[in-house]
Amino acid sequence: MFNSSQSAAPVPVVETQRLRLRGHRIGDWSDCAAMWADPAVTRYIGGRPFTEEEVWARLLRYVGHWSWMGFGYWAIEEKATGDFIGELGFADFKREIEPSIQGRPELGWVLASRAHRQGYATEAVRAVIAWGEAHFGSGQTVCLIHPENLPSLRVAEKCGFQEPLRTTYKGQPTLLFARPLERPGF
């Protein structure tokens, strides 16, 4: 049995003025499941609420990324309250997308509805970009955003992702952003 305060893998803690980014804990399960079950959260990420089974698989993927890749997703904790408010990080999901993003860490973020419109996403994304630059060096990172997800589009632009390419992923329109911009390859 896991201790609910134990992280599944050693994950570096990254702090900002208002946030603590830390490894997921088994005790985050109910907050993660509630966040991913919220239609307002999943509207542009899959288009429907996630089942508990899908959320559990997602959490296991996060742990696997840290264990195998040396990078992954953090849980976002509000410092003032200690509350779980979302998650973000880098992944290699082996997506079948054109143009290919193989070999480029993909940055993603999601916040619980109660944490929207407070600047938390931009603050957290900037912090993990800085971590990524130290970890990955000068390599390119990417992110995929649904074209109608205006808040995430603004976060990406504020954080230096540029010149999106229009593509599709699983039959849905998708914008592919890169940072720093390297046009060859896409």
pLDDT of residue 163: 73
Cα(141)–Cα(173) distance, integer angstroms: 20
Q: How many separate helices (H) and strands (E) can be counted in the chain? A: 5, 8
pLDDT of residue 9: 47
Tens of pLDDT, residues 116-165: 999 999 999 999 999 998 888 767 899 999 999 999 999 999 999 987 89
- Specify the pTM: 0.89
The secondary element (H helix, E strand) that includes residue 76 is: strand 73-78
Tens of pLDDT, residues 31-59: 999 999 999 999 999 899 999 999 999 99
- Region class of 137: left (phi > 0), else alpha (psi between -120 and 50), else beta: left
Looking at the chain, the whole-number percentage of residues with pLDDT higher than 70 is: 91
